[in-house]
Amino acid sequence: MAEIKGTVLLDTIAAIRKRAGEAELARILKQVNGETRAILERPLQPSGWYPLDAFVEFLEVDIRETANGDRDVLIKRSEKVIESQLRGIYKVFVKLGSPGFVVTRISAVHSTYFKGVEIIPEVENHSATIKYIGFQKHHEIMEYPIVGFFRKALEISGAKQVTLKFTAPIAQGGAYSELTITWQ
């Protein structure tokens, strides 16, 4: 069973509070199933591990309730999260790194946020493929925040004409999913 680090849940909850307030968060929590609500309403530990299924359900309800089901909104929201995470020395580090280095680094960081999901980056001259092994078909919404993180990090690094596409989508439910990235 795939799990996600508590820090992701905490960042997502904080972003909802900042964006829409406590009442909106409460409205979203009322819509998730009882098990997911119990997980999200108890004190979350940043270094704790929680079911990815609960996070996926939370994202699905958030997008349904606050963005009319438009999952592309998650790309923009995740870009804001990475921008806030990349402050000070970390932002300089990304700015000075080549796009290939940034892709490798973000892949390594993502590996620390998932348990039960293997992330394998392959970086070439102006392209990369990132293989994800362990996502299940119903985790497909995760494509959107992943794209947002990579897109914003590459933008900060100075990459131009960035394209990101899941060439093997999570929704296909195959042995792996694959994100293909190209840039100039």
Q: Residue 74: left (phi > 0), alpha (psi -120 to 50), or beta?
A: alpha
Q: How confident is the model at residue 94 (pLDDT cuts 50, 70, 90)?
A: low
- pLDDT for position 44: 97
All structural domains of the chain with their residue ranges: 3-70, 73-182
DSSP state letters, 69-101: T-THHHHHHHHHHHHHHS-HHHHHHHHHS-HHH
**Cβ atoms of 81 and 16 closer than 8 Å:** no
CATH class of the structural domain 73-182: alpha beta
- pLDDT for position 102: 84
Q: Cα separation of 61 and 108, whole Å?
A: 28
Segment 111-116 mean pLDDT: 92
Could you tell me the two tokens for 56? 């996926």
- pLDDT for position 170: 98
- pLDDT for position 93: 59
- Could you identify the residue written with the tokens 């119903």? 138
Question: In the sheet where 127-133 sits, what is the strand order?
Answer: 118-123, 127-133, 177-182, 163-168
Could you tell me the two tokens for 147? 């794209």
- pLDDT for position 60: 97
Which run of H or of E encompasses 42?
none
**Cβ atoms of 28 and 20 closer than 8 Å:** no
- pLDDT for position 74: 95
Q: What predicted TM-score, i.e. pTM, was given to this entire model?
A: 0.91
Q: Is the pLDDT of residue 95 over 70?
A: no
